[in-house]
Structure 1
Amino acid sequence: MTITQLQYVLAVAEYQNFTLAAEKSFVTQPTLSMQIQKLEDELDVLIFDRSKKPIQLTDVGKKIVAQARNIVSESGRIKDIVDQEKGYIGGEFRLGIIPTVMPTLLPMFLRNFINKYPKVNIRIEEQNTSTLVQKLSEGHLDAAIAATPLENERIREKVLYYEPFVAYIPENHRLHANTRIDPADLNIEDVLLLRDGHCFRDGVINLCKAKSDHRDERFQLESGSFETMIRLADEGMGMTLLPYLHTLGLCENEKKNLHFFHDPNPAREISLIYHKSELKLQLIEALREVILGVVRGAIAFQNVQIISPVK
């Protein structure tokens, strides 16, 4: 039994296809299949049920994969231990970012980070919070950027910044004449929301202290786009709330519709999160310092009230 064989097993378990697993593992399909067959022969069990499409794990295969994930993860930490001891900042770094942060924050720090740490091979993916937490727990990601607190004892959080909520209120809306607004002014019935699964949506609902299942049945929006909600607000379909960094890219006409809250500003907490057993701490801290360096000048709000993304 070898670490490489276990890695191939994990790849097939993830992609449920030998050809795709081989491609992702950078080996030929016959090589991957042969190594898995050798492992099954050695253990005298079938790990995969090849008669099913897509390929499925057998009952014992599920237990083997769970243990293999721990073994492969721990074996990879040996190099992390050495890198940490030497203070080396390089190698592969897998980072996940939630969709409501990715478009605004990533362009702000990525080039700075790459230029400062050219030996780091950073791989970035966009996923919702629950998927990021799962991938951190399974060792598929080294760190992620998400709204916190998460209330997950397995996940550690390092706060990056507090991002205020900003209301986008078109001219024909009842609140447009208000210079500043209060959470009590909001009516969930006319607040356009992101589709379910976005933590920013949960934060808005918590801010409104209301549930979204009482909304007008004649109009239901399923969108992951702030731009779509802005366009609909302009068409008289209601108002919406935006994260502050997103408002920086609006045109001047759109900025006229932005309304800030009275102090304390409702805000979401954005953190760099990682599994409690993660060892690439020098890379995580390097990334955190770069992000802090660019965000400090962009967000100057001092008096904020954190709105939790947890329902």
Structure 2
Amino acid sequence: MTITQLKYVLAVAEHQNFTKAAENTFVTQPTLSMQIQKLEDELDILIFDRSKKPIELTDIGKKIVSQARNIVNEADRMQDVVDQQKGFIGGEFKLGIIPTIMPTLLPMFLRTFTKRYPKVQLKIEELTTDEIISKISENHLDAAIAATPLYQEKIRERALYYEPFVGYIPKSHRLAEKKEIETADLDIEDILLLEDGHCFRDGVVNLCKSPKLHADQSFQLESGSFETLIKLSNEGLGMTLLPYLHTLEISEKQKDNLRYFAKPHPSREVSLIYSTSELKLQIINALYDTISGVVRGAIAFQDVEIISPTKKNRK
């Protein structure tokens, strides 16, 4: 039994196809198939049911894959142990970022980080919170930036900053004359929302604790971008809520429509998250120091109230 054989097994389990698994492990399909067959012969079991399309794991195969994942992860971390001991900050690092954070935060810290730590090869993916949790648990990500708390026992959260919600209210709206707004002013039926799957949307819904229902509501719309929500709001179709960093990039004319909440400012906690068993702590610490240092100058709010993007029953 070899580490290479176990990696081939994990690849087939992930892609459910020998050809795709071979392509992703950079070997020929016959080589991959032969090595998996040798492992099955050695263990005297079948890991995969090849009669199914797509290929499926057998019952014993599921247990083998679970154990193989642990073995391969520990083997891969051997270099991490050495790097940590030497204080070396470099190597490949896979980072996930949720969509409502990526466009504003990434340009703020990426250039600084890459100049300061040129030996780190960042591989960055835009992922939903659920995708991030899954990939961290399966060791496909080293860390991620997401709204917290997530209530995940095996994920560590280090708060980077607290980002207030800001109202975007057109002049025709019922709240336009208010200098400050309060959570009691909000009506969920009157707020343009991001589409389902965005944790910022969940935070907004949680913020509106007592939704008021209107029988005469003429439409319901959800969008995947803040830009669309702003445009629709400008057309008089409702108000919306934006994360504070996003408001720094809108036009001066649009900023006239911004309304801040009264203290304590309802905010989302944005954290650097990673597995409790993660060993690339030297890179995690470097990311944390860089991001928190950059953002500290952009967000001056102190008196905040954290609105969780998730519900505790999601544990």
Both proteins in one fold, TM over 0.5 = yes
Residues 177-212 of structure 1 deviation map (CA, whole Å, 9 limit, x = unaligned): 111111111111101111222211111111111469
Q: Distance in 1 between matches of 2:301 and 2:307?
A: 15
Residues 223-267 of structure 1 deviation map (CA, whole Å, 9 limit, x = unaligned): 221112112111222111000111111112211111111111111
Call closer, same or farther: CA 1:79–1:160 in 2, change over 3 Å. Answer: same
Q: Is the 8 A contact 1:22 1:32 kept in 2?
A: yes
1:245 maps to amino acid:
L
Residue equivalent to 1:38: 38
Call closer, same or farther: CA 1:79–1:247 in 2, change over 3 Å. Answer: same
1:302 maps to amino acid:
Q
Residue equivalent to 2:292: 292
SS of structure 1 residue aligned to 2:122? strand
The range that moved more, 27-36 or 8-17, is: 27-36
Any unmatched runs of 5+ in structure 1?
Answer: none
1:9-24 matches, cutoff 5 A: 9-24=9-24
Kindly indicate whether residue 154 of structure 2 is the aligned counterpart of residue 154 of structure 1.
Answer: yes
Residue equivalent to 1:167: 167
Kindly indicate whether residue 116 of structure 2 is the aligned counterpart of residue 116 of structure 1.
Answer: yes
2:134 maps to amino acid:
Q
Kindly indicate whether residue 309 of structure 2 is the aligned counterpart of residue 309 of structure 1.
Answer: yes
Residue equivalent to 1:53: 53
2:59 maps to amino acid:
D
Q: CA deviation at 1:173?
A: 0.7
Identity %: 71
Q: Distance in 2 between matches of 1:105 and 1:147?
A: 13
Residues 88-125 of structure 1 deviation map (CA, whole Å, 9 limit, x = unaligned): 11111111111111111111111111111111111111
1:131-280 matches, cutoff 5 A: 131-210=131-210, 218-280=218-280
TM (norm. structure 1) is 0.95
TM (norm. structure 2) is 0.94
Call closer, same or farther: CA 1:3–1:210 in 2, change over 3 Å. Answer: farther
Residues 108-145 of structure 1 deviation map (CA, whole Å, 9 limit, x = unaligned): 11111111111111111111112211211111111111
Q: CA deviation at 1:213?
A: 9.4
2:231 maps to amino acid:
R
Q: CA deviation at 1:30?
A: 2.3
Call closer, same or farther: CA 1:129–1:213 in 2, change over 3 Å. Answer: farther
Call closer, same or farther: CA 1:141–1:213 in 2, change over 3 Å. Answer: farther
Kindly indicate whether residue 36 of structure 2 is the aligned counterpart of residue 27 of structure 1.
Answer: no
SS of structure 2 residue aligned to 1:45? coil
2:297 maps to amino acid:
G
The range that moved more, 134-143 or 212-221, is: 212-221
Call closer, same or farther: CA 1:160–1:241 in 2, change over 3 Å. Answer: same
Call closer, same or farther: CA 1:39–1:154 in 2, change over 3 Å. Answer: same
SS of structure 1 residue aligned to 2:77? helix
Q: Is the 8 A contact 2:190 2:239 kept in 1?
A: yes
1:128 maps to amino acid:
T
Q: Give the root-mean-square deviation of aligned CA atoms.
A: 1.7
Call closer, same or farther: CA 1:207–1:215 in 2, change over 3 Å. Answer: farther
Q: CA deviation at 1:219?
A: 2.2
Call closer, same or farther: CA 1:296–1:112 in 2, change over 3 Å. Answer: same
Call closer, same or farther: CA 1:119–1:215 in 2, change over 3 Å. Answer: farther
Call closer, same or farther: CA 1:151–1:212 in 2, change over 3 Å. Answer: farther
SS of structure 2 residue aligned to 1:193? strand
Any unmatched runs of 5+ in structure 2?
Answer: none
SS of structure 2 residue aligned to 1:279? coil
Call closer, same or farther: CA 1:222–1:51 in 2, change over 3 Å. Answer: farther
Q: CA deviation at 1:215?
A: 8.8
Q: CA deviation at 1:216?
A: 7.2
Q: CA deviation at 1:19?
A: 2.1
Q: Distance in 2 between matches of 1:216 and 1:142?
A: 48
1:81 maps to amino acid:
V
Aligned pair count reads 311
